[in-house]
Amino acid sequence: MSSDPDKPNKNNKISLAEVAKAAGVSKMTASRVLRDGGGFSEKTRAKVMAEVDRLGYLPNRLATVFAGDKKSTFVGVSIPELGNEIFAQVLEGIDRKLGAFGHQTVLGLTEHEIDHEEKWIETVLSWQPAGLIVTGRSHSPKAIQMLRSAGIPLVEIWDFNSSPLDMCVGLNHFDSGYSMGRYLAGMEYRKFGYVGTSHDVANAATARLNGFSKAIEDANGRLEKQLLLRDTPGFYTGFYGTEQLLAAHRDIETIFYQNDNMAIGGLQYAQKIGLRVPEDIGIAGWGDLPISAIQPYRLTSIAVPHLKIGQIAAEMVLAQINGEPVKSAKDVGFRLIPGSTVKKPRTNA
Amino acid sequence: MSSDPDKPNKNNKISLAEVAKAAGVSKMTASRVLRDGGGFSEKTRAKVMAEVDRLGYLPNRLATVFAGDKKSTFVGVSIPELGNEIFAQVLEGIDRKLGAFGHQTVLGLTEHEIDHEEKWIETVLSWQPAGLIVTGRSHSPKAIQMLRSAGIPLVEIWDFNSSPLDMCVGLNHFDSGYSMGRYLAGMEYRKFGYVGTSHDVANAATARLNGFSKAIEDANGRLEKQLLLRDTPGFYTGFYGTEQLLAAHRDIETIFYQNDNMAIGGLQYAQKIGLRVPEDIGIAGWGDLPISAIQPYRLTSIAVPHLKIGQIAAEMVLAQINGEPVKSAKDVGFRLIPGSTVKKPRTNA
DNA sequence: TTGAAAGCGTTACCAG
DNA sequence: CTGGTAACGCTTTCAA
């Protein structure tokens, strides 16, 4: 017999059977009361709920999912890192939305490593999640195969992709880099530098750099140096990256950074060594992070609706779980912020 | 009969029984091979693994946990918010450590609301987690009761507490605020201000303010105004909070902020309106965040080992899961960074 | 080294 | 409105 109400289980947890027995009803009746689907008298309900409270019964959702051969309420969410505040905010957007609809985030930090991601996907799928949200569009072949056959809603975020595995929300990073390159080239800068960080896999930042590089090429400018540091993209990396870059290439006229925090670091370095911004050196960031708003200079940057990305990703998963029709790929776009840390266009007399 | 190998389940997932049948062995043998616990021949192993690969079998861990009446490999982690980068980093520290030992983080953002936390605790416990890490020491009565009877390792982080529900790692926020207050009072400042954000529950920032306030009182100074904004503690909040504060209290000589980001915002505001720092106004932050390192001024602040808190919390949970003895309360302390945004002590002639 | 049967806590299904 | 029985996919236990 299963769930013998007289034999406490190994965890000393109260089971439905025990509640039912104490209330003098069957397991099924107790189950119905707890799920509140109707089909029981008020008197029965009261009896059962009284015992639930008295015994401190907590349902075992493992058993629930298992018995119903359903999905759990988990949604797996993989993010490269949280040291980068933009990803932290994407995650916050996702979890809030999921939480509001009774779902839980199972977190996976991939550290930009495709192998980590693969391993995490395998693990999280074994918990029968209701959906998956992963950052980026490059996955290992095995990961792709697992994602394909999982049969659950999947959203690839960050990097917009017109033919995603399932769904996708993000922006075209190449284009955003190209925009910035074209904008800077239009300000009559000729000698460019780039400071960012490097990872094993092709990632969104690399796409931005590629776009930037292409724009410069198209404008007959010269990308003197692209400095890729093996570090986290933050203030300090921007600061010392700029120091390194300028030490080797004093003639660089403007620098594009992987993100705003690095750009702010670069700005501080430029000021420290007495360079005037934007006269002596142009500084451009990416992301339009909060820090930009309070600087004495408005940082030239690319604004990205990152909160929206997380929110939309969660909505896509939820909609598909509920069987609603979903647009499968959403480009949230970006916006160039002219700012005041690069030169202005010449006014036409 | 259970797990009939011929009847595909509703999710179209491959079951152990199907793998076993394809390999021409029993479920038990296949199970043994997969858990690699010995008790099978090499030939059998090869047959089973071949079918696992061919069919793309992924185990259903729900069933595993359930059958063994075990705990899952989940660890529930509740964090107030991720917009505050310090919490994002604590979470990152936790998840990395847990991940390295085969555990998964189930995230809960409480938004500083005790009711959210209670609801999340109830949900996450129903998934039979192996442990729990929660931020803060104030919980609802029902939450406390659930945590007590859960019978799993529990760590309360952030706010050090010598008598935790189970385990605890953090620092004494009151003391850190007191230290800063005493330090500033020692610099001959007399009129103080505080800028922070407010939440429904008594939280760590409130404890810091209380400590700060007490130190000022003990030094016969005057806390002119404590401004608590209903917003997220960030650069912009610090900027406009300072504007508000100074508009109403022009004679304030030094301001203590809830965190460094707010302090940087305040610093920018002070510079914008032409106040000299620290001559006209002293600025002190809390947390020693990365931004502080690259400012032209070294921000006066309190350094906190936040990465360490996450890491230790995860280690405590893991140790207790493995039945190792654990120190139940760890105070990681803090360190006052004198910086250059408040006046220096008078030199003794 | 292998396998058959029982059982984990819950819900689906059917009968009363 | 209520309850008995089978089933979910796996592991434990015991026997071969």
Which residues have C-beta within 8 Å of that of residue A282, sequence separation ≥ 6? A184, A187, A189, A253, A254, A255, A300, A341, A342, A343
Q: How far is A215 from chain B (nearest CA, A)?
A: 31
**Which nt is closest to the CA of B69, judged by C1'?**
C8
**Is the CB of residue B320 less than 8 Å from the CB of residue A290?**
no
CATH architecture of the domain covering A16-59: Orthogonal Bundle (1.10)
Q: Do domains B16-59 and B74-170+306-333 have the same CATH topology?
A: no
Residue B95: strand, helix, or coil: helix
pLDDT for A101: 95
**Is the CB of residue A310 less than 8 Å from the CB of residue A93?**
yes
- A143: closest chain B residue by CA: B56
**How many of the other CB atoms lie within 10 Å of CB of B322?**
10
Measure the N-to-C terminal CA separation of chain A; round to a whole number of Å. Answer: 93
Q: Where are the beta strands (DSSP E) in chain A?
A: 74-79, 104-109, 131-135, 154-159, 167-171, 191-197, 222-229, 254-257, 282-284, 301-303, 329-331, 335-337
Q: Output A170 or A68, whichever has higher pLDDT.
A: A170
**Is the CB of residue A286 less than 8 Å from the CB of residue A176?**
yes
pLDDT for B2: 47
pLDDT for A1: 43
pLDDT tens profile A305-348: 998 999 999 999 999 999 898 889 999 999 999 999 999 876 55
The rounded mean pLDDT for chain A is 92
**Which nt is closest to the CA of A126, judged by C1'?**
D9
| pLDDT tier for residue A6 given thresholds of 50, 70 and 90 | low
Quick check: A62 and B65 CB within 8 A?
A: yes
Q: In chain B, which residues have pLDDT < 50?
A: 1-2, 349
pLDDT for A13: 83
Q: How far is A337 from chain B (nearest CA, A)?
A: 18
CA to C1' distance (Å), from A113 to D12: 38
Query: Tokens 């670091």 correspond to what residue?
Result: A265
Q: Does B11 touch chain A (CB under 8 A)?
A: yes
C strand bases under 7 Å from protein CB: 1-13
- Give contacts of B 171-210 with A, CB under 8 A: none
Report the DSSP beta bridge partners of residue A294: none
| Residues A179-188, mean pLDDT to the nearest whole number | 95
**Is the CB of residue A329 less than 8 Å from the CB of residue A168?**
yes
Q: What's the rounded Cα separation, in Å, for the pair B138 and B273?
A: 40
CA to C1' distance (Å), from B22 to C6: 24
Domain ranges in chain A are 16-59, 74-170+306-333, 173-305
Does the nearest atom of strand D lie within 7 Å of B23's Cβ? Answer: no
Q: Is the preceding peptide bond at B164 cis, omega within 30 degrees of 0?
A: no
What does CATH list as the number for B173-305? 3.40.50.2300
pLDDT tens profile A104-142: 999 999 988 999 999 999 999 999 999 999 999 999 999
Q: Does A349 touch chain B (CB under 8 A)?
A: no
- The CATH fold of domain B74-170+306-333: Rossmann fold (3.40.50)
Q: Does B66 touch chain A (CB under 8 A)?
A: yes
pLDDT tens profile A52-73: 999 999 999 999 998 887 889 9
Q: How far is B349 from chain A (nearest CA, A)?
A: 32
pLDDT for B134: 97
pLDDT for B71: 87
Which of A146, A264, A294 lies closest to B239 in CB terms? Answer: A294
**Which nt is closest to the CA of B17, judged by C1'?**
D9
Which residues have C-beta within 8 Å of that of residue B308, sequence separation ≥ 6? B93, B332
Which of B10, B56, B63 lies closest to A145 in CB terms? Answer: B56
pLDDT for B310: 96
**Which nt is closest to the CA of B65, judged by C1'?**
D10
CA to C1' distance (Å), from B203 to C16: 57
Query: Tokens 């202005």 correspond to what residue?
Result: A344
pLDDT for B327: 83
Q: Is A252's pLDDT higher than 80? A: yes
What the block records as the tokens of A322 is 């509920």
Which of B11, B105, B234 lies closest to A151 in CB terms? Answer: B11
pLDDT for A145: 94
| Residues A43-51, mean pLDDT to the nearest whole number | 94
pTM: 0.92
Quick check: A82 and B88 CB within 8 A?
A: yes
Does the nearest atom of strand D lie within 7 Å of A340's Cβ? Answer: no
- Give contacts of B 113-142 with A, CB under 8 A: 120, 122-128
List CB contacts (< 8 A) between A8 and chain B: none
CA to C1' distance (Å), from B136 to C8: 35
CA to C1' distance (Å), from A16 to D5: 17
Residues 21-40 of A with CB under 7 A from strand C: 27-28, 31, 34-35
